[in-house]
Amino acid sequence: MAEPPHILVIDDELGMREGCRRALAAQGYWVEGAADGDEGWRRLQEGGWDLALVDIKLPGIGGIDLLERARSLDPDLVCIVITGYATLEMAVQATKRGAYDVLPKPFTSDDLLLVVRQGLEHRSLTLEARRLREEKEQGLLLLAEEQSRLRTIIDCLADGVLVANREGRLVLYNPAALRLLGLREPPPIGSDLAPLCLDLQLGEAASAGLTGEDGRPTILATELTCNALTLLASVTPILDEAGVRLGSVMLLRDITEAKALEQVKNQFISMTSHELRTPLAAVQTYIDTMLEGFAGELSAQQREILDRCSQRLEALITLVNDLLDMSRLQSGRVERRIIALDVAAAVRETIDLLRPLAAEHQVTLSIDLPTDLPTVEMDREDLGRILTNLLSNAIKYNRPGGAAAVRAVVDGYYLRIDVIDNGLGIPEEALPRLFNEFYRVKRPETSGIGGTGLGLAIVKRTVEYYQGRVEVQSVHGQGSTFSVYLPHN
């Protein structure tokens, strides 16, 4: 009898690992688990796995890095992401790293079995295609004449499949591809695949291939709009044992409903936030008026109550403003005026703005900026938002008598801005999730510090819009350094 498929479940939740094991073992699969990214990588290196279920948020090696390592270790291993933080951006990023599919938590046993069965069919198809290439003198054109069983598998796939040889000529397609591309007539076998790609870079990847920084062929994933459908398209190179490119496979997935749902969510957040901000601002004005004595003298108890109300209201207004910022960033409705900005001037303005907050927390602020810093091309409000979020965190998550500093240096192609503090620091296990939306580190020493958990997520999205990146180094109890890399002039 044939050996059952070997499946590895990499998830830090024991209940999730056990639930997956029971559901899959009942279908005859051989299933084992790993509790974190490091253990998962060790198990993957043992070899013999057909499919891996990988959580994105893992202790140790993160899920995205694990996907990339797994693909370099075994390009035929089918990796399926299981996550409670499923977003379109994360799905695109996971696809670029070689993930076959994304399964949002929570999911049913039927959902799990369906995606695993499809993943194993995909692996079987890939291995069968390689065997056929080797038997047919590495010629993809002969795939169109292969066994009816292989053709049946491809035709039954819900995702569109287009296969091209090394010259970019079409050798194989399935009905789903024709439907998603809105083609009434099937394209002739041997025709140029590039005109069907609807995207210049996709067409280049399908016909000539794209290479990464290491010179190796790379996967390209992007979104397309076709016949009122939003498609997630990816082009994957097909290589022989020597790494020579034989052709490419284009996969098309309909994500129209997912995009519509995301748009509805963003519209709801935006509308709700707008409706909340006006009455909150009015209430804040009334409270300020009373505190200033225009409504009569207040007793000490009344003033204390109103002060607390004002503090809570300011926190709520901050949350609403952060929600609006995040909604605009997600929907792409941010109006920007891109100009060459003097970073030193922007840093000094932010420092001056936050001096009252620093004085309240007894934190000393300092600046270390060279006189010949290059400018950066970006919107003034975006740069101010980045600096304000990072520097205010350095103040709030500090100790009385602590210090926070802003430093800037040229780092090759980038201008690096460091925001450094000697405050509370961040536990190592919290660093991988630090830039997630609504995530806050929960510790006794931070319980009295207000915040929305959106500030760092906004910083990350804003920096990435300008083709930059943000990194963090921190030692719990000793302080943190947040580094923003922005392309400079």
- Which pairing describes strands 479-487 and 469-475: parallel, antiparallel, or unpaired? antiparallel
Name the residue among 171, 224, 176, 236 with its Cα closest to residue 200: 224
pLDDT of 107-118, one tens digit each? 899 989 999 999
What's the rounded mean pLDDT across residues 304-333? 68
Q: Of 50, 48, 41, 52, which Cα lies nearest the Cα of 17? A: 52
Residue recorded with tokens 């990499």: 10
Comparing CA positions, the residue from 256, 53, 257, 254 lying closest to residue 158 is 254
CA distance linking residue 291 with residue 299, whole number of Å: 11
pLDDT in tens, 456-474: 888 888 888 888 899 999 8
* pLDDT at site 53: 93
Tell me if 137-254 shares its fold with 259-331: no
Q: What is the mean pLDDT of residues 85-104?
A: 82
485: pLDDT strictly greater than 90: yes
Render pLDDT for 365-399 as a digit per residue (tens, 0 to 9): 999 888 888 888 888 888 888 998 899 888 888 88
Mean pLDDT of 68-90: 85
- Strands (E) across 180-335 are located at 220-226, 229-239, 245-254
Domains of the chain, by residue range, sit at 1-135, 137-254, 259-331, 338-487
Give me the pLDDT at residue 213, please: 46
Token match 């090394």: residue?
166
Burial of 280 (0-12, 13-18, 19+ CB in 10 A): middle
Question: Thinking of the domain 259-331, which architecture would CATH place it in?
Answer: Orthogonal Bundle (1.10)
pLDDT at 212: 47
Predicted confidence (pLDDT) at residue 430 exceeds the cutoff of 50: yes
d(CA 420, CA 356): 19
> Phi and psi of 221, rounded to 5°?
-130, 135
Percent residues over pLDDT 70 in the chain: 78
For tokens 């780092």, name the residue: 411
Average pLDDT, the chain: 80
Give the max Cα distance, the chain: 94
pLDDT recorded at residue 272:
62
pLDDT at residue 339 above 90?
no
Q: Residue range 273-291: average pLDDT? A: 72
- Which CATH fold topology does 338-487 show? Heat Shock Protein 90 (3.30.565)
Lowest mean pLDDT among 46-50, 276-280, 342-346: 276-280
Sheet-wide strand order for 364-368: 364-368, 403-411, 414-421, 479-487, 469-475
What is the CATH superfamily name and number for domain 1-135? Response regulator (3.40.50.2300)
pLDDT at 318: 67
Structure tokens at 308: 């607390």
How much is the pLDDT for 32?
93
Tens digit of each residue's pLDDT (9 = 90 or more) over 129-186: 878 777 655 444 544 455 556 677 777 777 888 888 877 788 888 888 878 877 778 8
Mean pLDDT value of segment 415-421: 92
Its CATH class, for the domain covering 137-254, is alpha beta
What is the model's pLDDT at position 104? Answer: 87
Are 307 and 291 in contact by the 8 Å Cβ rule? The answer is yes
> In the prediction, which pLDDT does 447 show?
59
